Structure 1
Amino acid sequence: MSNSRVAVNSKLTVVSSRPVSASGKGKAHALSALDSAMGSHTVHVIYYYKNEEKWFESFDLLDPLRESLSEVLTLYPTVTGRLGKRGVDGGWEVKCNDAGVRVIKASVDATLDQWLKSASGSEENLLVAWDHMPDDPTTWSPFRIQVNRFEGGGVAIGISCSHMVADLTFLASFFKSWTEVHRHLAITHPPFVAPLPNHADDDAESLPRHAKTHSPRNMATATFKFSSSIINRCLSKVHGTCPNATPFDFLAALFWNRIARVKPPKNHHQTHCLCICTDFRNLIKASLPIGYFGNALHFSMLSQKVEDMQLGGIVSAVHSHLKGLSEEEIWSTNNEGNYYCMYGTELTCVCMEHLVFEEENESLLYAAMFGNNEKPIQVSCRVGNVDYGEGLITVMPSEEGGLSRTVMVMLPEEELAELSKDEAILELEPAMLLAGSVVSGGPLT
């Protein structure tokens, strides 16, 4: 964009501090059918820090932050590897060849506070680095890190990857591991590299993909932050209808209901669909750890006449839908390659409740600290190449902890403009950040 406040200063490749051992050199990790089906999307997480403890200085060769990145990469050979095709069946795999991770250094012509108050969604995209995968990916890094320095010392670190190799949960666990190595702590969620149980080794090209019946549109994003006390009050109001409602149940229902009112009608029955994206690491008997390398996402469809329902009824419908998900349904979807609705043409809502650890009263996202007492003041999570659909809602933990939640919404520009004035949302007194246009037409670049 013209007159950009973000300037790239340098690009480099960071390798592990110790080469892959002889036993691991040349090994490859086969991607699952689900991984391959996610290939048209990208994943991006941005962590904002005040840097009050001065843990970030320059990211030069001997800078402690760069040294800790090299150290943690030793434990993640799949992150420093490169994508390729298997010889016999042509399926995708990550070759553990110790090729390193692309790192970009950038400076921002604004203070951190100024940025958070004024940056648009398209500007925030500039804090993450991404290049499209070329025809020959053997030298292309599927993981990218961009370190952004603000005036006055603030820092934003954007980490990106192809959705084919990992989901948001893995990215968050990898980033937290980096902060723990930096602080000389034991890693809480080590990497777990293994095939999905019962997964099919289908090539991405042979899988049914969601139908892109729309042309790409100019989308806009807005971030709504709800306090713990507000969410507690909202849950109390729907307690009679849904006594075990979670913050996600309420916020998914609220935004689904309000977005339905600003979208043009699609049918005379006024039935609206919501595709819910859920992490299934803890939903299967042989549960997968947080550090599982790959995708552990299930997409399921819920249809309701939400404009005619009381909010409590919609909350109950969302809650019952999620409680009704079975392991049989999850594996059926994975084994049959039935990925029709993922980030597809229907409104999609991503649930990140599994990243809230109640026993620790914190979330995985905001436990990532390079300084001993300095948590991120804001974390943004984005999925690239979703501008063919009806929109994307991401409900994620917030820095306040407890029941507080951050909701990131991507909608067509005119719809988001109406949603941002919606009285039912505004009466909950959300803090609104990073509202603005997004350049559409493909993954974040």
Structure 2
Amino acid sequence: MGSLPDLEIPPPLTSRISTVVPATPRGDQNGAYQLNYMDLLMKLHYIRPVFFFNSEAVRGLSISDLKEPMFPLLDPYSHVSGRIRISESGRPFLKCNDAGVRIAESHCERSLQEWFDENGSCSFDGLVHDHVLGPDLGFSPLVFVKFTWFKCGGLSVGLSWAHVLGDAFSALNFITKWSQVLAGQAPPKSLQLPNHPEPKISPNSIYENPPTSIKRATIIGDYWLASSDSNVAIHSFHLTSKQLHQLVTIDATNKTKPSSYFEIISALVWKCIANTREDFGPKVVTVCKSTSNRAQNEFPTNDLVLSKIEVDVSVGKCDISDLANVIAEKNIVENHVMKKVVEQGEGKEDFIVYGANLTFVDLEEGDIYGVKLNGQKPIMANCTFRGVGDQGVVLVLPAPEDKEGDGNGRIVTVSLPKKELQKLKHKLEGEWGVDCASL
């Protein structure tokens, strides 16, 4: 079953928690923000990026300095500091009531290097607030930002962002805006409402079919978190630009049009996972992408395209190039079907998306290194999702610039049941030479 934070056990890092509210009170102008079908589909998921900075990047900064930019930033982001309400019909919405976001400050008795040596960059225990909405939704903050000071003078910035507010691109944009205000830039006076076209429906998509990219969920008590039958673990590995070039070269020998890095990486991981299973599956996976480039000051939104990818052959025996081609060319968009399912249930039902099928999420264009302190990028950044289903999720993210200076690689962060994750690491290392040691 899924787990919840045990409020009786102190966290591994001691924390002080405070609240930041918009600089300009809304007063009687408190409004309601209506959640669309994609917001409601994602309500049981949480986005958790962490950014690591060395001591030089945070020299001279205090917790007051770090909190101060959040006050004016929340003025245009009014619904981010709101709270969930349930309408008379049972459909959730956001009340823009200036209740604020939570700021946590903690201290770690290890240096950054000691932390990396012991935990790697995909272990967020204690660096992101253990944040789940509920049991009293009316008092549950939608966002936590946690600052953890290390004994070497370094700092981690951990964000826990309720997915109901917007997708990973929106979460990264929000925390990047915070760092820009910290650097002296004025916060945006207002945010642009997204004006993106509806995802294009594939010709072979049948409207009446139930969507395979989501499944109904059983939640834990009054918490917005799905129960789970597996103990999902997380691991990240780094593919260098040289390794990516080799994979694309292999792919290009079988195709006239080379695949994107995301498609090649997804094909590689899909094949390796299939080879760890007796049935050489799964034969159906989900691909999650953003619909388009985001405007700089865009209102947070869940602007995602969810596609079903299906093959009728043994995945474990496929060439990576063939799988990459299927991912690129044979996707069936299911957004329109999912919208129908949510609206038929009047927005009251609970679903999971990440891990309903094995899910591949394209975050290659996510500006995870756009967060800067004193003009310096993080030495490492990563992102995970909470609330992942038993089939697992694979995130493809930008990596820091390679030491050789010949381009950027990719960070691949995988959430799978523990036994499957160990088999995947063994397969990647033994057959593909990927270094799966903790980052």
Give 2:361's aligned residue: 350
Q: CA deviation at 1:187?
A: 5.9
1:126 match: secondary structure: coil
Q: CA deviation at 1:107?
A: 1.2
Give 2:215's aligned residue: 210
1:264-303 alignment runs, 5 A limit: 264-265=278-279, 272-282=283-293, 291-303=298-310
1:365-404 alignment runs, 5 A limit: 365-372=368-375, 374-386=376-388, 388-400=389-401, 402-404=407-409
Q: Does 1:65 align with 2:70?
A: no
1:17-32 alignment runs, 5 A limit: 17-20=23-26, 25-32=29-36
Q: 2: distance between equivalents of 1:4 and 1:321?
A: 49
Q: 2: distance between equivalents of 1:122 and 1:177?
A: 24
Q: CA deviation at 1:331?
A: 4.0
CA 314–384 in structure 1, closer or farther in 2 if over 3 Å, else same: same
Give 1:82's aligned residue: 83
Q: CA deviation at 1:10?
A: 0.8
Name the amino acid aligned to 1:309: C
Give 1:52's aligned residue: 56
Gaps of 5+ in 1: 200-206, 356-363, 435-445
Identify which of 411, 424, 427 aligns with 1:422.
427
Q: CA deviation at 1:221?
A: 1.6
The answer on whether the counterparts of 1:345 and 1:389 sit within 8 Å (CA) in structure 2 is: yes
1:380 match: secondary structure: strand
The answer on whether the counterparts of 2:363 and 2:396 sit within 8 Å (CA) in structure 1 is: yes
1:79 match: secondary structure: helix
Q: CA deviation at 1:381?
A: 1.2
Q: Does 1:162 align with 2:162?
A: yes
Name the amino acid aligned to 2:380: Q
Give 2:319's aligned residue: 310
Q: CA deviation at 1:197?
A: 7.6
Q: 1: distance between equivalents of 2:198 and 2:251?
A: 39
Identify which of 248, 256, 263 aligns with 1:235.
248
Give 2:103's aligned residue: 103
Question: Normalised by the size of structure 1, how large is the TM-score?
Answer: 0.80
Q: CA deviation at 1:195?
A: 9.2
2:48 match: secondary structure: strand
Q: Does 1:263 align with 2:277?
A: yes
**1:210-258 deviation per Cα after TM superposition (whole angstroms, max 9, x unaligned):** 1459952122221101111221222122113342311101100001101
Aligned length: 400
Identify which of 265, 275, 287 aligns with 1:251.
265
Greater mean alpha carbon deviation, residues 216-225 or residues 181-190: 181-190
Give 1:138's aligned residue: 138
The answer on whether the counterparts of 1:5 and 1:109 sit within 8 Å (CA) in structure 2 is: no
**Structure 1 vs Structure 2 CA RMSD:** 3.4
Name the amino acid aligned to 2:383: C
Name the amino acid aligned to 2:372: M
2:438 match: secondary structure: strand
**1:398-424 deviation per Cα after TM superposition (whole angstroms, max 9, x unaligned):** 111744100001122122222222256
Name the amino acid aligned to 1:406: I
Q: CA deviation at 1:39?
A: 1.8
**1:34-86 deviation per Cα after TM superposition (whole angstroms, max 9, x unaligned):** 21122222221111111313346431xxx222111222222211111111123
The answer on whether the counterparts of 1:227 and 1:430 sit within 8 Å (CA) in structure 2 is: no
1:353 match: secondary structure: coil
2:109 match: secondary structure: strand
Identify which of 38, 43, 47 aligns with 1:39.
43
1:114 match: secondary structure: helix
Q: CA deviation at 1:139?
A: 2.2
Q: 2: distance between equivalents of 1:403 and 1:165?
A: 30
CA 312–56 in structure 1, closer or farther in 2 if over 3 Å, else same: farther
Q: 2: distance between equivalents of 1:79 and 1:288?
A: 18
The answer on whether the counterparts of 1:15 and 1:80 sit within 8 Å (CA) in structure 2 is: yes
Name the amino acid aligned to 1:274: V
1:161 match: secondary structure: strand
The answer on whether the counterparts of 2:276 and 2:420 sit within 8 Å (CA) in structure 1 is: yes
The answer on whether the counterparts of 2:121 and 2:380 sit within 8 Å (CA) in structure 1 is: no
CA 99–38 in structure 1, closer or farther in 2 if over 3 Å, else same: same
**1:192-216 deviation per Cα after TM superposition (whole angstroms, max 9, x unaligned):** 45698889xxxxxxx9961459952
Q: CA deviation at 1:273?
A: 2.0
1:258 match: secondary structure: helix
2:76 match: secondary structure: coil
Q: 2: distance between equivalents of 1:274 and 1:289?
A: 31
Gaps of 5+ in 2: 1-5, 200-210, 219-226, 344-349
Identify which of 13, 16, 20 aligns with 2:19.
13
CA 290–296 in structure 1, closer or farther in 2 if over 3 Å, else same: farther
CA 280–382 in structure 1, closer or farther in 2 if over 3 Å, else same: same
2:79 match: secondary structure: coil
The answer on whether the counterparts of 1:279 and 1:354 sit within 8 Å (CA) in structure 2 is: no
**1:352-401 deviation per Cα after TM superposition (whole angstroms, max 9, x unaligned):** 1332xxxxxxxx110211221x1112222111121x42221111111117
